[in-house]
Amino acid sequence: MKIALYPGTFDPVTNGHIDIIKRASRLIDKVIVGVLHNPAKKPFFTVQERIDLLKAVTSNMENVEVDSFSGLLVDYVKQRKIDVIIRGLRAVSDFEYEFQMALMNRKLNPEVETFFMMTSTEYSYLSSSIVKEVFQHNGCIDGLVPDVVIKAMEKNNYKII
């Protein structure tokens, strides 16, 4: 059984993230969506809220699991016996950063493979940061994130934690 990890902060999870998760889940036996706990960032949602939202939007995907981790990605990969890391790419600018990270992960653990997946065209401009900024300025985020995420953002009233 091949296991993939799709890591990220997912703050919030967007339709672009869901697109990558769905497509990866059709190719890989098991996909773990790993929510990174990064205290250096100022997240909108707690780690547990992000996990709960991801579980809600992936509940119909039988081979998708949601988990969280902190520390080095390669340590988590080794601990969970993961075969491949999935990274989504929106533009050439994403590739440079992701390529550097993939090479560093490979240096730290030569067994680690990284697969890059191009986002679907309709999500090529979409990021969690843009969603938060638009929402903060009362812009419409319909179609950018699932409805459950919009409701959670409205409930949370966009208070950065």
In the chain, the domains with their CATH numbers are 3-156 (3.40.50.620)
State pLDDT tens for residues 91-117: 877 898 999 999 999 999 999 899 999
25 is catalytic: no
- The pLDDT score that the predictor gives to residue 94 is 85
- The pLDDT score that the predictor gives to residue 61 is 97
Residues of the chain with pLDDT under 50: 160-161
Q: Say which amino acid occupies 57.
A: V
**Per the residue annotation, which of 23, 78, 90, 106 is the catalytic one?**
90
41 is catalytic: yes
26 is catalytic: no
- The pLDDT score that the predictor gives to residue 42 is 80
- The pLDDT score that the predictor gives to residue 92 is 78
- The pLDDT score that the predictor gives to residue 112 is 87
59 is catalytic: no
- The pLDDT score that the predictor gives to residue 158 is 58
CB atoms inside a 10 Å sphere around CB 137: 8
